[in-house]
């Protein structure tokens, strides 16, 4: 019988759908009866959804363009010097 | 399955084989190849039981690792494959067994265990060069004579098993292609360092959407590189933030990463995706910046916290807690929560859950094993959940 610690140890793999069938069943059987593990599982699942969809640390359009332009300028300056052309 | 024919009788007539099957779940071809002499199988199984299985001074893990390093040194694909699986079946914790077989010196084993394995390899390879100073060195590492005796006998057992497997032409019980590649017995990508690559399928073609742009850049098409910059800037920026923790500094680092990538694009060999390669450059850039700031907290260290993280706030969350906030508020809360995580957990959560790298890709760019990655990911995700709980739980909804 899986304990709360056992479920917690497998939680990440369970969320990623990477648990073997037998382990997955054990986790699910435990959660049927354990409100705490159910709450932790559900809130962790929602945490991942929120993080993935949050657009956190998005580079603003103007910063992105400014840096891209600077990179562009620098590699063209290097390219003007034939010794600096990258070759495989 | 081997060079000589075994007895035609079925396995139920060999009680020792049935015992082995019940212990490991399979009958090794090593024993199947010897069924002409059941008495010898019994004797060998007794030997294995007394030396390897029975509890002694060395742990089972130490004994399995001795077996692995010697078998790998003797290039016994059969024994390495079998015992990598056995280590996994036994749930022995530690580095990937293939890493031990390939090169234990670059694994994260304690120095004392490395010294034990070093001497096992020396005895296996250059037995006449073993001197009493070698034994003293193990004693200095805290090993008692019982440990040393067991190590010596384990080396003997490995030699015995390896040579029997060679002589009988025993076919591996499990897919041996990975082990053979690692031991250099099968075609492989060039490998300068004997470090196990966490990305399993190094020989399968990599589906990389950037391959055309990379090749055009190499032939001098600068617009192609502009497109690579446009495509990957957002993700590289997030990788930098994940490590340096400071958005302004990440912006500064961004330009260096792409200039360095342009400079070295000739050395990109296509063994990984271009983005993976680029992310490695970003990690180096960010690590350098942390070092300059003398931040001692390491995100690359391989140690794992012994005590499991326990969730404290276990209030249930509503169906859509994100609806409590505007998009901008939500983004700010997530960013704040991510920045509270210690670096080594923040990096894995951001690469895996924000940037959506696969587990294999994340392990590869951080140069850690999959088990180490998974352990950090679990803890990082639980810490992040805890950091968000006060603002996402039902109590927050009622405020």
DSSP state string for B217-270? HHTT-HHHHHHHHHHHHHHHHHHHHHHH--HHHHHHHHHHHHHHHHHHGGG--S
**Chain centre to alpha carbon of residue B153:** 29
**Residue B89 has which token pair?**
């079946």
Q: For B188-212, what is the mean pLDDT?
A: 53
Cβ neighbours of B377 in A, within 8 Å: 12
Confidence category of residue B188, pLDDT binned at 50, 70, 90: very low
Note the pLDDT of residue A43. 96
Note the pLDDT of residue B170. 86
pLDDT of residue B205 exceeding 60, the answer is no
Q: For B255-268, what is the mean pLDDT?
A: 91
Cβ neighbours of A5 in B, within 8 Å: 308
CB contacts under 8 A, B 233-252 vs A, are: 233-234, 237-238, 241, 247, 250-251
Note the pLDDT of residue B200. 39
How many angstroms separate the CA of residue A63 from the nearest CA in chain B?
8
pLDDT of residue A83 exceeding 60, the answer is no
Confidence category of residue B190, pLDDT binned at 50, 70, 90: very low
Mean pLDDT of chain B: 85
For the stretch A29-65, pLDDT in tens is 999 999 999 999 999 999 999 999 998 999 989 999 9
Answer yes or no: are the C-beta atoms of B103 and B153 closer than 8 Å: no
Q: For B293-315, what is the mean pLDDT?
A: 68
Distance CA B207, CA B227 (A): 18
Note the pLDDT of residue B271. 77
Confidence category of residue B172, pLDDT binned at 50, 70, 90: confident
Note the pLDDT of residue A88. 41
- Between A and B, how many residue pairs show a Cβ–Cβ distance under 8 A? 143
Note the pLDDT of residue B41. 92
Confidence category of residue B163, pLDDT binned at 50, 70, 90: very high
Note the pLDDT of residue B181. 63
Q: Which of B233, B359, B382 sits opposite A68 (nearest CB)?
A: B233
Distances (CA, A) of A81 to A10, B61, B90, B260: 56, 58, 60, 16
| Helices and strands in chain B: count of H runs, count of E runs | 19, 0
Q: Express as a percent the part of chain B with pLDDT over 70.
A: 86
- Give me the interface pTM, i.e. the ipTM: 0.89
Confidence category of residue B193, pLDDT binned at 50, 70, 90: very low
CB contact under 8 A, B353 and A43: no
Mutate to test the interface with A, among B25, B229, B306 (most CBs of A within 10 A): B229
Mean pLDDT of chain A: 88
pLDDT of residue B344 exceeding 50, the answer is yes
pLDDT of residue B293 exceeding 80, the answer is no
CB contact under 8 A, B233 and A67: yes
pTM of the model: 0.57
Confidence category of residue B66, pLDDT binned at 50, 70, 90: very high
CB contact under 8 A, A79 and B222: yes
CB contact under 8 A, B255 and A59: no
For the stretch B212-226, pLDDT in tens is 999 999 888 999 999
A20 interface with B at CB cutoff 8 Å: no
Residues 6+ apart with CB under 8 A from B17: B11, B27, B31, B32, B35, B41
CB contact under 8 A, B349 and A51: yes
Mean pLDDT lowest among B19-23, B33-37, B183-187, B229-233: B183-187
pLDDT of residue B186 exceeding 70, the answer is no
With residues binned 3-state (H G I as helix, E B as strand, rest as coil), the percentages for chain B, rounded to 5, are 65, 0, 35
Cβ neighbours of A72 in B, within 8 Å: 222, 226, 229
Note the pLDDT of residue B15. 84
Confidence category of residue A17, pLDDT binned at 50, 70, 90: very high
Distance CA B340, CA B13 (A): 63
Note the pLDDT of residue B197. 42
Angle between helix B211-218 and helix B222-244 axes, rounded to 10 deg: 120
Biggest CA–CA distance in chain A, Å, is 70
């Amino acid at each position: 019988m899986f304990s709360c610690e056992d479920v917690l140890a497998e939680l990440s793999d369970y969320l990623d759908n990477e648990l073997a069938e037998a382990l997955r069943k054990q986790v699910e059987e435990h959660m049927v009866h354990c409100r705490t593990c159910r709450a932790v599982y559900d809130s962790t699942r929602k945490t991942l959804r929120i993080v993935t969809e949050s657009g956190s640390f998005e580079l603003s359009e103007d910063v992105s363009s400014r840096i891209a332009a600077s990179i562009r300028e620098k590699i063209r300056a290097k390219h003007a010097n034939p010794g600096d052309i990258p070759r495989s | 399955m081997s060079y000589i024919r075994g007895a035609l009788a079925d396995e139920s007539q060999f009680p020792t084989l049935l015992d082995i099957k019940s212990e490991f779940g399979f009958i090794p071809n090593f024993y199947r190849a010897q069924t002409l002499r059941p008495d010898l199988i019994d004797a060998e199984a007794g030997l294995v039981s007394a030396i390897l299985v029975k509890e002694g001074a060395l742990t089972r893990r130490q004994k399995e690792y001795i077996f692995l390093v010697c078998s790998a040194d003797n290039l016994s694909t059969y024994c390495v494959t079998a015992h990598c699986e056995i280590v996994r079946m036994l749930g022995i914790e530690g580095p990937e067994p293939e890493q031990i077989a390939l090169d234990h010196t670059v694994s994260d084993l304690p120095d004392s265990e490395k010294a034990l394995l070093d001497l096992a390899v020396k005895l296996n390879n250059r037995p006449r060069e073993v001197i009493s100073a070698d034994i003293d060195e193990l004693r200095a590492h805290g090993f008692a004579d019982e440990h040393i005796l067991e190590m010596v006998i384990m080396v003997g057992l490995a030699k015995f098993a390896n040579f029997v497997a060679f002589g009988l032409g025993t076919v591996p019980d499990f897919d041996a292609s990975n082990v053979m590649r690692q031991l250099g017995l099968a075609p492989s990508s060039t490998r300068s360092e004997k470090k196990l690559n966490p990305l399993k399928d190094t020989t399968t073609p990599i589906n990389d959407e950037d391959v055309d742009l990379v090749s055009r850049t190499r032939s001098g098409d600068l617009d192609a590189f502009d497109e690579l910059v446009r495509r990957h800037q957002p993700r590289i920026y997030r990788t930098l933030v994940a490590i340096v923790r400071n958005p302004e500094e990440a912006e500064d680092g961004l330009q260096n990463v792409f200039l360095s990538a342009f400079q070295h694009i000739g050395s990109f060999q296509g063994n990984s995706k271009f983005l993976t390669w680029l992310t490695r450059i970003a990690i180096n850039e960010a690590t350098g910046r942390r070092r300059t700031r003398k931040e001692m907290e390491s995100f690359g260290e391989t140690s794992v916290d012994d005590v499991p993280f326990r969730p404290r706030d276990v209030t249930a969350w509503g169906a859509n807690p994100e609806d409590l906030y505007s998009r901008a508020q939500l983004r700010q809360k997530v960013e704040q929560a991510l920045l509270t995580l210690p670096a080594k957990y923040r990096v894995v959560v951001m690469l895996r859950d924000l940037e959506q790298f696969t587990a294999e890709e994340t392990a590869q760019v951080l140069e850690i094993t999959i088990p180490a990655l998974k352990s950090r990911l679990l803890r990082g995700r639980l810490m992040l959940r805890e950091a968000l709980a006060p603002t996402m739980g039902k109590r927050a909804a009622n405020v």
